[in-house]
Structure 1
Amino acid sequence: MKTKAVILGANYYIGLSIIRCLAIHGVPTVAIDYSSKGTYGFHSKYCSETLIGPNCKKDPEGLLNFLIEYSKKQDHKPVLFPSADGYVEFIDNHLSTLSKYYLITQTEEGLYTKVMDKGALHSLAKEHGLLVPETVHINEENFKEKIEENIKFPCLVKPTDSPAFVSKFRKKLFKVYNMEELKEAIKRATSANLDVIVQRIIPGFDDHMYTFDAYLNQEAKVTHWVTCQKYRQFPINFGASVYTGQKYIPELYDIGGKFLENIGYKGFAEIEFKKDANTGKYYLIEINARTTNLNSLLFKAGVNMPYIAYRELIGKPLEPYAVTHDTNLVFWYAFEDLLAVRGYLKTGQLKFMDVIKSYNKPKAYAIWDWKDPKPAFMFFGNKLGSLIRKILRFTR
């Protein structure tokens, strides 16, 4: 009986991509979510089991007990995969217990949560000599003077706890243009009991955003890696990847790989960098401590991160590999990319013909797969149903 893979979260394409990446190698995949509503990953032909369990945020103890009971019924410890930040935090908080029942890449409790926290990450990065955007904490002395002299406007108000902030405001940050807007943004965040920092905007369009995607083995050594360049994001300028290409940038391995090894990181990580348009230097922006939006691109480029983790954890590691050439492949999340393009055109940041020309590349799709089409049909059916309901409410 093969070791199972348990995937936490199937209502977004990240969980779906993990399921596909494992199942094509014959790994039994168990998708767990707290609701079947809109959970299109459940409809993949690659799913061996689909289970409804407690919500990791509303009932973490319930989910913990649910997972323990499931593991007890298995012949081998399953491999556990989080598909969203909330699940990463849940695993991190219960790592000592979960590791008795599941195979998990990280062994140091709290490290994933630490690198996800913007304040802690930036302190850690500076200790290891990495550049990070100039930052001011809201309780610092001479706050106003530091903003005006070092940060300048416009600037960013960013959360230290991204998942909680996104859950509350449905956006990753606030962009403010003057002191009055800054004070209002800080007030909104603190009123919701959320800690925030104020950060300088590194100059450069969205195509100055790059990623270093890597897998580190149980000895905290980089064994597999790929670098990518963002082209478009949604929301525009400060959002998630919707159109991103694989691009070989060896300098990012030198910076990011060394940093992750030095902090004892294990498993998959994606470091986001921004290249300063004026100086050409790379600034660390954030780390995603889980499988990310770009997983289908990494897979198509030849690096199957979920399967790499699975094989190592069951004691059959794959040979190291890195993509050290340009493949011309792009990741495309068509639904949000169309929304992003509208924003870029409206603000004059892109021209229509440039957008059209950009599509002339081989693609790794977020949801669509010719061999597994049902999740895409379910996704678009959900979106269409939502649109119809809005129209009906508007016409009443």
Structure 2
Amino acid sequence: MEYKHKAVVLGTNYYIGLSVVRNLGRSGVSVTTVDYDNHHYGCSKYVKEKLIGPHYKKEEKKLVEFLIDYAKKQEEKPVLFPTADLYVEFMEDNFDSLKKYYLWPNEKKGLLRKLMDKESLLEFTKPLGIRTPEIIPMDADNLYKKVTEELGYPCIVKPKDSMPFVNKYRSKVFMIKNEEELKEKIEMCKRDSQEVFVQRIIKGPETNCYSFDVYMDKNQKVVSYMTTHKIRQWPINFGASTYAKQIYIPELYDICVPLFKSTGYRGFAEVELKRDEKTKNIYLVEVNVRFVNFTELQCYMGMNTPMMYFLDSIGEDFSGPEIKEDHEVYWKYKYEDLSAIRKYLSTGQMSLKDIISDYRFKKVSSTWALDDPMPGIHFFLWAIGKRFKR
């Protein structure tokens, strides 16, 4: 089937954007990508138009004008897709201007930003009794005293915006062992204009880290959902998944769905959670309101979240599965998983037996696809070149 509306995907510098592009293109949607530079994943055969535009931060207003100029030339309003938190923020900051020319499911200006932010998220989770790890903002009065008395050590320093933090420090969080380390990291973040907060650690192995992926329709009804747990992540202990498994975890539905119903949420979202190894309580760690690492896994399971988002935006009917059984399906991001394996082995957190026992030859790949090999080839050549430079 051909659609009159085009999909405009913001960001192809990571495999998330690639998954969105592929699963729209496979379904007959004309896909246009917009990025500030050429990237490995932008060479997918499912990209009909590849546009290089202004930077979303450095030239924000110019990018708004660039997108509006493009939309004005189209027969129908395009559907706008964010593939990273900073693109969500860009859409939120320019909500009124972009909504005149683009479609996307959310109609509540400011809601996505509130759900993304760890502090404002509490105004939704507290009334529902949803457990979240305690946090203290970096600019709190008596910060170091509060951390000692309320959180204790070890604890972690986390960013409000992950992408600039990871780009700067090559780490998703800082593990803090004592007050001296905390002062050092906080002062460094202040110098680098990185907004962070201090958070209590929820203790437990990687397999206690869960994801609840869901699509909510305009009536705040659950259209489709699935659950997963991590096996490995990079950086280890506090990073993004590199190897994960689809597994049904029934408790997550009753924790997450009330949150989205109470906020009037519409669209795709992923909730990251963790079970405390001692109390067995499950804590809500983070809400992602854009497409995520597991997009290719979702689509493999029949939960085509990019197409749900597209059809919802243009007012067409759509559906998806509620996955309530285990299918023994694994997902892998091989490039970073190799680093993760080495680190788990060297720190003694995993044994070779652990690694082998969880290994499956049939996996959903983050990047490689037989029907669209060029992004995988480009990335492989880049990775090899990077290794040789080292």
Q: Unaligned 5+ residue runs, structure 2?
A: none
CA shift digits 1:75-101 (9 cap, x unpaired): 111111111111111111111111111
- The amino acid that maps onto 1:122 is L
- The amino acid that maps onto 2:324 is T
Contact 1:243 1:331 in 2 (8 A): yes
SS in 2 for 1:245: strand
Counterparts of 2:58 and 2:139 in 1: how far apart (Å)?
A: 31
Contact 1:222 1:261 in 2 (8 A): no
**Where do 1:194-343 residues align within 5 Å?**
194-343=194-343
SS in 1 for 2:368: coil
Contact 1:119 1:197 in 2 (8 A): no
Counterparts of 2:204 and 2:8 in 1: how far apart (Å)?
A: 40
2:32 counterpart of 1:30:
yes
How many positions carry a matched residue from both structures?
Answer: 388
Counterparts of 1:177 and 1:301 in 2: how far apart (Å)?
A: 41
When structure 1 is superposed on structure 2, of 134-143 and 144-153 the one drifting more is 134-143
CA shift digits 1:349-375 (9 cap, x unpaired): 000121122112631100001111111
| Equivalent in the alignment of 1:384 | 384
When structure 1 is superposed on structure 2, of 171-180 and 231-240 the one drifting more is 171-180
Contact 2:303 2:320 in 1 (8 A): no
| Equivalent in the alignment of 1:394 | none
| Equivalent in the alignment of 1:2 | 4
When structure 1 is superposed on structure 2, of 180-189 and 160-169 the one drifting more is 160-169
**Where do 1:144-155 residues align within 5 Å?**
144-155=144-155
Counterparts of 1:179 and 1:137 in 2: how far apart (Å)?
A: 15
Contact 2:41 2:379 in 1 (8 A): no
Contact 1:214 1:225 in 2 (8 A): yes
CA shift digits 1:29-75 (9 cap, x unpaired): 11111111xx1222211111111111111111111111111111111
SS in 1 for 2:315: coil
2:17 counterpart of 1:15:
yes
Cα distance change, pair 139–63 in 1 and its aligned pair in 2 (3 A): closer
Counterparts of 1:207 and 1:320 in 2: how far apart (Å)?
A: 26
- The amino acid that maps onto 1:261 is K
Contact 1:215 1:269 in 2 (8 A): yes
SS in 1 for 2:293: coil
Counterparts of 1:117 and 1:27 in 2: how far apart (Å)?
A: 32
| Equivalent in the alignment of 1:372 | 372
**Where do 1:132-151 residues align within 5 Å?**
132-140=132-140, 143-151=143-151
Counterparts of 1:273 and 1:98 in 2: how far apart (Å)?
A: 32
Contact 2:214 2:270 in 1 (8 A): yes
Percent sequence identity is: 43
CA shift digits 1:218-254 (9 cap, x unpaired): 2333211111111111000000011111111121111
Q: How much does 1:164 deviate?
A: 3.6
Counterparts of 2:144 and 2:40 in 1: how far apart (Å)?
A: 47
Counterparts of 2:46 and 2:387 in 1: how far apart (Å)?
A: 29
Cα distance change, pair 219–361 in 1 and its aligned pair in 2 (3 A): farther
When structure 1 is superposed on structure 2, of 308-317 and 190-199 the one drifting more is 190-199
Task: Please report the TM-score for the alignment, with normalisation by the length of structure 2.
Answer: 0.95
Counterparts of 2:387 and 2:164 in 1: how far apart (Å)?
A: 27
Counterparts of 1:77 and 1:139 in 2: how far apart (Å)?
A: 42
